[in-house]
Chain A
Amino acid sequence: MQRVETLDELLVAEPSVLTPPTPAEVQDETENLQVLTRAVERIWRQAHEEVEREREQQRRAAERARFNLD
């Protein structure tokens, strides 16, 4: 299988647009990407926490008494 480290190595370049984006548009898109990244991070964190809670609950449910001496 192909060994690649980043997605960019795989993506086909977009056909060049007729008018290149202005610096303001580039800045907008950068900000949009930051907001999107943060949104996904937040969703990821919530999902991760939920799964951790589930695992903790399962672990507790699986616990059995171990100490049975006087």
Chain B
Amino acid sequence: MNSQARLVIPGAVLQQAIRALERSHADWLACTVERASRQSGEDWLTRGLARGRQLPDPALVVARTPVLPVAFASPTAVLYLRQGEPPRAYLLDSRGQRRPMGLLILAPGLPEVGATVAPAPDAERWSRVAGALGDYAWRRLCRLHYLIVGCGRNGSLIAHALARIGAHRMTLVDPDTTELCNLDGDGFLPDHITRPKADALAESLRAVNPTLEVQALPHSASDYRILPAAREADVLITAVDDDGARWTVAHLSVLYLKPMLDVGTGVLHTESGEPLIGADIRWLVPGECCLLCTGGVANPQQVEVVRQGLYAEQQHRAQRHWQRERLGSLRSLNMMATGLALRTLEDYLAMRLHTSRWLRLVYQDATPQLHELGHGAPNRNCLCAHTGGGDKLLTQPLDSIRQISHSEPWVPNPVVR
């Protein structure tokens, strides 16, 4: 079961491919792919249908026949589909030999076959969760590798919630050190003050679940040192207070085909003096949408800072003062937002939620209201243009950057405005 290479294909791209096959009655068609190396092998990231007459290199061939009527000069991935049969992925080398590949589809349940099998979770300890979610969803939830960017209030709550329901692998990213005011997050102790937040959180998670594999990266999201972890992870989670970091992770999410769960909360100043209390929770599946076409970012200037490099980012962080940006933070609100985020992930893995989602929680006259805002669609100005672009597009400029820095700032709640 230990596949070296894995084919990753967004459900939305697979649907396009099948639609094209049905339209043309052809036996096969080609898609463009990028290859990205991971510790456990290599990912073949599907970008979209190939255009033009030339076969792309490298290519994915989506075929309805086991025998292809052409020879391929270089290694080619093949996804063999026949109705009523399980789909199969294999690598066709230039000598015509076929080797099985792992296969991950970015669709409800995040189904994957041929992966390295992680140890079975302790069914007794987590029998309640497994009972509620169903066996498949719970096992999937346990075996996914989470990259959590931001170890503050929201990040620590999510990390602890995941550890307590059996998650097996996590990587924690945060450049900051623990301060006195961080102790309202989960797992932080007075002893942790002055230690990197990521380290402190990792330590507290190991105490909860000694079998957890947790790696702490005390770096900024835009630091190249988090790249290997981003390629390795299955789901990217952002719980940050900086749109530069949020944007950076959103870019990695589309490049390496990693679904992204974004949580943002706020207790904000308003002109009326009444605080604006709310949260945005976004579940973004590459191929369907991205952060920019699904709500964008509230503060595009912070994205500009990240693009100027790590030094500018450090300067910016040092100059920021929380009181200019918010009235304060509420752990109760963090708990609601992270609870909704986790429920969204659970529902997607349990195949009850079928698409990306944007949920907004907002308090109006002391009453919580939940809005389903729908998700966006790929357009020329968003990150979706880089879907599956891997390392090749990592450093390529995006038109969207210019676009977002000149767009109207996105206001947290148009209702209260």
Indicate if B81 sits at the interface (CB-CB under 8 A): yes
A43-B22 contact, Cβ under 8 Å, with A33-B86, A36-B112: no
B15 interfacial contact with A, CB 8 Å: yes
Asked if A7 and B80 make an inter-chain contact with CB atoms under 8 angstroms apart, the answer reads yes
Instruction: Give Cα A12 to B87, complex, Å.
Output: 17
Q: Report whether A2 and B113 are in contact in the complex, using a CB–CB cutoff of 8 Å.
A: no
Contact B18 A47 (CB under 8 A): yes
B225 interface hit (Cβ, 8 Å): no
Contact B113 A47 (CB under 8 A): no
Taking a contact as CB atoms closer than 8 A, the residue among B11, B100, B113 that contacts A43 in the complex is B11
Interface membership of B368, Cβ < 8 A: no
In the complex, the answer to whether A11 meets B18 with C-beta atoms within 8 Å is no
* A11 and B112 form a contact (CB under 8 A): no
Within 8 A of B (CB), among A15-70: 17, 21, 24-25, 28-29, 31-37, 39-44, 46-48, 50-51, 54
Chain B residues 1-56 with CB under 8 Å of chain A are 1-3, 11, 14-16, 18-19, 22-23
A43 touches B67 (CB 8 A): no
Q: Enumerate chain B residues within 8 angstroms of A14, measured Cβ to Cβ.
A: 2-3, 99-100
B126: interface (CB < 8 Å): no
The reply to whether A33 and B113 contact each other, CB–CB distance below 8 Å, is yes
Taking the closest CB of chain A, its distance from the CB of B377, in whole angstroms, is 15
Once the chains bind, are B105 and A36 in contact (CB under 8 Å)?
yes
Contact string, B124-143, partner A, CB cutoff 8 A, digits 1/0? Answer: 00000000000110010000
The main secondary structure of chain A at its interface with chain B is helix
* Tally of contact residues, A, Cβ under 8 A: 36
13 A-B residue contacts at CB 8 Å? A4-B67, A7-B90, A17-B2, A29-B113, A29-B117, A31-B135, A32-B113, A36-B105, A39-B109, A40-B81, A40-B105, A43-B107, A47-B16
Question: Would A51 and B105 be within 8 Å (CB), given that A10-B67, A21-B1, A40-B14 are in contact?
Answer: no
Q: State whether A10 and B66 are in contact (beta carbons under 8 Å apart), knowing that A39-B111, A43-B11 are contacts in the complex.
A: yes
Give, as a whole number of angstroms, the nearest-CB distance from B185 to chain A. 34
Evaluate contact between A32 and B112: CB separation under 8 angstroms: yes
Assess whether A44 is in contact with B81, with CB atoms less than 8 Å apart.
Answer: yes
**Additional 8 contacts, C-beta under 8 A, given A1-B67, A40-B87, A44-B83:** A6-B66, A9-B66, A14-B100, A29-B117, A33-B86, A35-B111, A51-B22, A54-B23
A37 touches B109 (CB 8 A): no
B88 within 8 A of A: yes
| CA of A47 to CA of B103, assembled, Å | 20
B246 to chain A, nearest CB (A): 29
Q: Which residues of B contact A (CB under 8 A)?
A: 1-3, 11, 14-16, 18-19, 22-23, 66-67, 69, 80-81, 83, 85-88, 90, 97-100, 103, 105, 107-109, 111-114, 117, 120, 135-136, 139, 351
> Which of B98, B107, B111 has the largest count of A CB atoms less than 10 A from its CB?
B111
Pair B108/A39 contact, Cβ less than 8 Å = yes
**Chain B residue contacts of A9, Cβ below 8 A:** 66
Do A37 and B67 touch across chains, with their CB atoms under 8 A apart?
A: no
What are the 8 tightest A-B residue pairs by CB atom distance, in nearest-first order?
A36-B111, A47-B18, A47-B19, A51-B22, A39-B107, A35-B111, A37-B86, A7-B66
> Taking the nearest CB of chain B, how far is it from the CB of A54, in angstroms?
8
Instruction: For residue A44, give the distance in angstroms from its CB to the closest CB of chain B.
Output: 5
Kindly provide the distance from the CB of B70 to the nearest chain A CB, expressed in whole angstroms: 11
- Chain A residues near B85 (CB, 8 Å)? 37
Q: Tell me if B15 and A36 are in contact (CB < 8 A).
A: no
Chain A's nearest CB lies how many Å from the CB of B340? 25
Chain B residues within 8 Å of A43, by CB: 11, 14-15, 18, 107
CB pair A12 B99 closer than 8 Å: yes
Cβ A51 vs Cβ B15 within 8 A = no
| Bound CA–CA A39/B112 (angstroms) | 11
Q: Contact between A36 and B66 (Cβ–Cβ < 8 Å)? A: no
Measured CA separation A39–B285 after assembly (Å) = 15
Task: Report the minimal beta-carbon distance from A64 to chain B, rounded to whole angstroms.
Answer: 24
Return the chain B residue nearest A10 by Cβ. Answer: B98
Contact A39 B11, beta carbon cutoff 8 Å: yes
Among residues of A, the one whose C-beta sits closest to the C-beta of B12 is A43
| Contact call A29/B1, Cβ cutoff below 8 A | yes
Q: In the complex, what distance in Å separates the CA atom of A24 from the CA atom of B87? A: 22
In the bound complex, what is the Cα–Cα distance between A54 and B19 (angstroms)?
A: 11
Check A48 against B22 for contact (C-beta < 8 Å): yes
A12 touches B22 (CB 8 A): no
B113 contacts A36, C-beta separation under 8 Å: yes
Rounded to whole Å, the gap between the CB of A33 and the closest CB of chain B is 5
Residues of A within 8 A of B111 (CB): 32, 35-36, 39
